[in-house]
Chains A and B, each alone.
Chain A
């Protein structure tokens, strides 16, 4: 029997499995208070998913407010939409708006690597589409446990194939991302997915349902039993008696990239025809989320006729239809006079479209099923007024001990030349070609830079050559040692990577991956990281336009390294001026190191890989310096003074040299001063290795000096040598280096 509102009123004392659905006693009590009765099964399903940590941000909300508080009007001036919308939108000039966002799909990807990762891509792409933008590119920051662990061999190939399988079939170039290994991700890999899209400024679409009488249209795939998760508790109760046993489908959704590709083209044609009032994608929490958010953000109520929803399974209950996370679905609000035109476009693309409801007077979301009312709620209480928690915060007792355990006493190596090769072959620094060659980076013909470049770059206008650059970064070890400074370092690195392509950084997004919010130590890391990131953005003068929080990333009571992945978006007026990562583009080039090198090994890749050590403090971060460095790089690109640039990060100068030589397929001779170990392997922030044509050397170094940016000549490019020569140490043939750098991942995963 279907649990209707009438039934709920008549059976106030019926026991409900709210705890199994993840609701706390007081949360359930609040639902009863809002409704002045017990919720129906369908209402309970809606509230439980919408009030989950994933949808409601109940533990993070009080901290995330700080992003808004630290954003000045000036920082906001280029923002067309910000936090709270499906994705942030930035005005990038020439009448173009760019939207970008990164989201986590960690837990599904651990359970079912291929589909978890695939639907992670699908979900973020629909977020971008729902802003009215054409999705242009994706990138995927991934984190795994020990590279040689059996479970890593299970999840990594599946996740990589899933990202590739979905993205390639969707026709979106994959232009960057990260692959990081650390033991803390062993039982909890991180799969974050970023998408960037562009639209004309006037085409921005926001998710709201306005205008009484307007129609609500569900279009795209049918709704099935996949991705139902906790709500199956309700299903089993309803069905064991009446319909006998039925097969339950996995709670991880199954992706169909072909349907999504068609959905994208269909939606873009609908936007172009101007027949959409409001649009919302269906992601986590499915129809529950889409209908309540659309209604909550609009100026009226909504009536949905649930029996009209096209299903792919028989006998689904209203609660299941509302909670299904079947992929590749969108929900649009359309004026009645445009419904036929809407359907016409959907027919062209063979997309199923169904009018499932309408915008009503008043302020209730009413959902009926074959004429009986199964949901009657104030939509704001579902979508925007969920519970808010002030979780206890406590700096971990062992934090001081961790910081006191510095790497100073670790034995230094004797053979530095050998160490250059060892580090190049270490899993975190090794070439990620095994992963990225499974991703299409060329489709649509606008990819100007892609992995292994510092940042990805996409042309958005073929006439004006305007483009955007993107990078995502985070070093979880730095954040573990000092979450406040670590978050700033993640921001600094992403900012520097974007600047190293010649683009001007303009906006920030994030994906905050942490352990359990019920652990006060984790909440301290979270609070510190949010503060560090927000303060850092204020100092750089670029806004956070959106983000995502993923909690409960832990195995037992052990949390992952705090991992606030930071994505920075940059703008370049003319992509033909981009700076490549590899040397050798010009006949004669000088190598310059910009920035200062200090003895900084806390959280370094050397301490991690060689000694398995994590302790001390992360490198110092100076955001004013990062800003200056960025300005110099952008000026260098604009005036054609820089022929290659590569950011220094994990592995220090040694790794930057190895990569710039191998990517450019060109040798170099390097001369360094002082302690060579520090010069080569320290991870001091705020540094970039640049190659400048000899003819521009004087002009470029004069500019650095005039702007008080420290620089030092560290070598020359040598196209004849086919080796990396470090004066005082010896020579490493490029073939040998390439074997070390490119051999590691195939040896582990082929």
Chain B
């Protein structure tokens, strides 16, 4: 399994995403923002950080990066793509996922260990989890509030496209406690919390996040 991990200037969690891929016995392939080339990978992770500084709306510049044009094309053809935190914001800006991520309702950056419930275990990235399983992974973001119009929310809810939901107190004001969603095909998933920071109880709160990368392994092997 070869998994591309994109680095934009200002990307921060690329090393963590690469490590998570390795922990799942995959090969992590660094992808550079300026390249029009996915290097023949089986899947792509758009990691967290502050792409190009994110001084505009988060992800608004990154969606125009040369490498993203390749990601959009591949995703539309069914390649598994995962956007974590800034990566989720970028996938939303690129219209691979609906809705938008806005400033946390209390206006502070929030870094905490967050319980999530797995709402959909049929996507390319979540098959290793039991449905309604509760997992504990770090959340760390200043603009993590998920927003969408009612029609979009209904569509997500009615079609099981909410993949993760916050358990307990809503940390950022997300509508419907949404932490992560998927596209209609289930190959593109975006979430604000960081599964790549929860792959080893030594350096994370748990290893609950590893399941996402192992799920990908199953998906790729099957394909």
Contacts and interface: CB of A to CB of B under 8 A. Distances in A.
Contacts of A441: 111
A169 interface: yes
Interface string A336-377: 000000000000011000000000000000000000000000
Contacts of B55: 258
Interface in B1-20: 9-10, 12-13, 15-16, 19
Interface string B89-114: 00000000000000000101111100
Contacts of A438: 108-111
A262 B12 CA distance: 11
Nearest to B203: A445
A71 interface: no
B19 to A, nearest CB: 6
Interface stretch (A145-153, A160-168, A418-426): A160-168
Interface stretch (B46-54, B74-82, B159-167): B46-54
Of B15, B112, B203, the most chain A CB neighbours within 10 A belong to B203
A437 B111 contact: yes
Contacts of A258: 9-10, 50, 52-55
Interface string A436-467: 11111111111110000000000100000000
A575 B201 CA distance: 12
B204 A257 contact: no
A750 B106 contact: yes
A169 B197 CA distance: 17
A448 B203 contact: yes
A54 to B, nearest CB: 29
B63 interface: no
B49 A440 contact: no
A350 B9 contact: yes
Contact of B203 (A164, A437, A446): A446
A439 B53 contact: no
A459 to B, nearest CB: 7
A171 B51 CA distance: 12
A312 interface: no
Given A258-B50, A258-B55, A443 B16 contact: yes
B83 interface: no
Nearest to B9: A262
Nearest to B13: A443
Given A448-B203, A750-B106, A169 B111 contact: no
A256 B16 CA distance: 24
A442 B111 contact: yes
Nearest to A434: B108
Contacts of B108: 161, 437-438
A261 interface: yes
B140 interface: yes
A440 B12 CA distance: 11
B87 to A, nearest CB: 14
Contacts of B110: 437-438
Interface residues of A, number: 32
B111 A439 contact: yes
Contact of B202 (A169, A436, A575): A575
A443 B108 CA distance: 18
Contacts of A24: none
B50 A442 contact: no
A576 interface: yes
Interface in A217-260: 256-259
B171 to A, nearest CB: 10
B61 to A, nearest CB: 11
B41 to A, nearest CB: 21
Contacts of A443: 12-13, 16, 140
B208 interface: no
Interface residues of B, number: 29
Contact of B109 (A165, A171, A257, A750): A165
B104 to A, nearest CB: 10
A177 B75 CA distance: 43
A575 B202 CA distance: 8
Nearest to A259: B53
A352 to B, nearest CB: 13
Contacts of A445: 15-16, 19, 196-197, 199, 203-204
Interface string B161-200: 0000000000000000000000000000000001011010
A465 to B, nearest CB: 9
A446 B197 CA distance: 9
B101 to A, nearest CB: 16
A168 B110 CA distance: 11
Contacts of B111: 436-442
Contacts of B194: 442
Interface in A396-446: 436-446
Contacts of A436: 111
Of A165, A436, A444, A448, the most chain B CB neighbours within 10 A belong to A444
Contacts of B144: none
A164 B109 contact: yes
A27 to B, nearest CB: 41
A169 B9 contact: no
B16 A440 contact: no
Contacts of B54: 169, 258
Given A442-B194, A448-B202, A459-B203, A169 B53 contact: yes
B52 A444 contact: no
A208 B52 CA distance: 32
A442 B47 CA distance: 14
A262 B209 CA distance: 28
A637 to B, nearest CB: 14
A321 to B, nearest CB: 25
A749 to B, nearest CB: 10
Given A258-B50, A350-B9, A445-B197, A440 B140 contact: yes
Contacts of A442: 16, 111, 138, 140, 194, 197, 203-204
Interface in B125-172: 138, 140, 142
A113 to B, nearest CB: 15
Interface string A565-578: 00000000001100
A256 B138 contact: no
A171 B12 contact: yes
Nearest to B113: A442
A256 B106 CA distance: 24
A256 B10 CA distance: 11
A100 to B, nearest CB: 20
A447 B140 CA distance: 14
A584 to B, nearest CB: 14
Contact of A437 (B12, B112, B196, B199): B112
Nearest to A447: B203
Interface string B9-44: 110110110010000000000000000000000000
Nearest to A459: B203
A171 B111 CA distance: 13
Contacts of A259: 53
A258 B140 CA distance: 18
A257 B53 contact: yes
A580 to B, nearest CB: 11
B89 to A, nearest CB: 14
Nearest to B194: A442
Contacts of B109: 161, 164-165, 168, 438-440
B219 to A, nearest CB: 24
B195 to A, nearest CB: 12
A440 B108 CA distance: 12
Given A262-B9, A442-B140, A445-B203, A171 B197 contact: no
11 contacts: A168-B142, A256-B53, A258-B9, A261-B10, A262-B10, A436-B111, A437-B112, A440-B109, A440-B140, A447-B203, A576-B202
Given A259-B53, A437-B111, A750-B106, 17 more contacts: A168-B140, A169-B12, A169-B54, A171-B13, A171-B49, A261-B9, A438-B109, A438-B110, A440-B109, A440-B140, A442-B16, A442-B203, A444-B12, A445-B196, A445-B199, A446-B203, A448-B202
Of all A-B residue pairs in the complex, the 5 with the closest CB atoms, nearest first, are: A258-B53, A171-B12, A445-B16, A442-B197, A169-B50
